[in-house]
Amino acid sequence: MKSYAKKHYLLVLLAVITINFFLPRLMPGDPFLYLSVEEGEVAAAFSEEQIAQYKAYYGMDKPLYMQFYDYILKLLQGDLGYSIYYNTSVLEMILLRIPWTIFIVLCALFLSSFFGTLLGAISARLREKPADKFMYLFMVVFSEIPSFLLGIVFLFVLAAKLKWFPLSGGITIFAPHTSMLSYMGDLLHHAALPIITLTPAGLGNFYILARNSMLTVLSKDYINTAKAKGLKKWQILYKHALRNALPPIIARIFLSLGSLFGGAVLIENVFAYPGVGKLMREAVLKRDYVLIQGIFLTVAVTMLLMNWLADVIYKKLDPRVFR
């Protein structure tokens, strides 16, 4: 059974690599085609010879199957290639940016799962009372607001008008930090808006999941037993009910990384936050095949890894799923 799962993941990985290779090549236009200009910009005009030379340099003059073969071969050596637009190693570029993205995604995940679960539990406890109904409605509506929209509102109100937060970037640039503490503070200050923008979408999901999960558990016999023992209400809620309601929530933590990452792509572009999402947008706009592939592959592999982790942990948490 286990080897079946492994095969499964391997198959998905192969599919990902293949799609990842062909998809950017199916887009119209190529990285050397600059025939029109943006406002106030100069078009970089390449001569036909230059283009031929570049294409040869990046192996793009070879037939597609040869390019694919080369791609796989290099991939096996851990080589993600060389960005056409930025003239830099793709791996290097991704490694520089991915910590930023992971940082805001994990913070948002922590906040949304923690508060979502907490509020969900409270809501379940107060079931059918006005507070529960209000919270339910609020969460459903709130979590449906697209995060980039929320981001723009936050940017204008909290950063531009009230000046509580910086307008952009991941850190105060060119400012020497005297202590680790001021450095950390600056990092968090810059990350705050992206994080609180990313949090609501997940918050609603965790809230609803936790609420449902808790409602199921609360109707179980052992809760009645606990009540009969004369335990306090909140003790029952947190010691007995919540702990048993946790497995699906923990699995969801890993599974929600995908959508959170998708949100981060948009948010990073709103706040000019230096993560992978901002890089991805640039790469797509510039038709930088090599870079697009590198980013997509990194993201896909991360997602697969998270799914696998979710699988493993879920099995350990809930023996009913597997023996």
Partner 1 sequence: MKSETKGTAVTIGKNVAVIFLLLLSMILGLVGCTNRPSESGEIISGDAAGNENATAEEPVIIRLAGEDVGLPNPFRHTAGGAGVSKATLLYDTLLEKDENQDIPWLAKRWEMNEDGTSFTFFLHENALWHDGEPLTAEDVVFTFNYYKEHPPVSNSLTDGKKYIVTDTKAIDDHTVEITLNSYNNTYLSKIGSVLILPKHIWENVDDPTTFDGNGATVGSGPYKMEIYNPEQGAYRFVAFEQYYGLQPAVAAIEWVPVSDEVLAFDNEEIDLVMPTADLVSRYKESDEYIVEEVPAYRNSYRLMMNMETVPELCAVDLRKAIAYAVNRQEIIEKIGRGVGLISSMGYVPSSSPWYNSDIEQYDYNPEKAKALLEGRTYSFTLLTDNSAKSTKMAELIKISLDEVGIDVTVESVESKARDNALKTGTYELLLTHAGGMGGDPDYLRGIYGEKSTTIKGWSNERVNELAKAQAIERDETNRKEMLFELQKIIADEVPMVMLYSTVTYFVYRPEKYDGWMMIRYDHNQRCDFYKLSYVVRN
Q: Does 44 help bind partner 1 (rule: CB under 8 A)?
A: yes
Nearer to partner 1, 122 or 195 (CB): 195
Helices 147-154 and 180-218, packing angle to 10 deg: 140
| Residues numbered 86-125 forming contacts with partner 1, rule: CB under 8 A | 86-89, 93, 96-97, 99-100, 102-103, 106-107, 110
| Residues numbered 217-276 forming contacts with partner 1, rule: CB under 8 A | 222, 243-244, 246-247, 250, 253, 270-272, 274-275
Nearer to partner 1, 134 or 222 (CB): 222
Cross-strand bridge partners of residue 89: 82
Nearer to partner 1, 16 or 317 (CB): 317
Q: Please, what is the minimum distance in Å from the beta carbon of residue 166 to partner 1?
A: 9
Q: Does 308 help bind partner 1 (rule: CB under 8 A)?
A: no
Select the span of 6-14, 40-48, 123-131, 141-149 touching partner 1 (CB under 8 A): 40-48
- Contact predicate 98/91, CB 8 Å: no
- Contact predicate 151/197, CB 8 Å: yes
Select the span of 48-56, 65-73, 120-128, 202-210 touching partner 1 (CB under 8 A): 48-56
Q: Please, what is the minimum distance in Å from the beta carbon of residue 146 to partner 1?
A: 17
Nearer to partner 1, 140 or 157 (CB): 157
Nearer to partner 1, 196 or 313 (CB): 313
C-alpha–C-alpha distance, residues 100 and 191, integer Å? 9
Q: Does 312 help bind partner 1 (rule: CB under 8 A)?
A: no
- Contact predicate 116/204, CB 8 Å: yes
Nearer to partner 1, 107 or 135 (CB): 107
Nearer to partner 1, 159 or 208 (CB): 159
| Residues numbered 137-196 forming contacts with partner 1, rule: CB under 8 A | 155-156, 159-160, 163, 167-171, 173-174, 177, 183-184, 187
Q: Please, what is the minimum distance in Å from the beta carbon of residue 165 to partner 1?
A: 11
Task: Find the binder of partner 1 among 68, 85, 238, 308 (CB under 8 A).
Answer: 85
# of chain residues touching partner 1 (CB under 8 A): 74
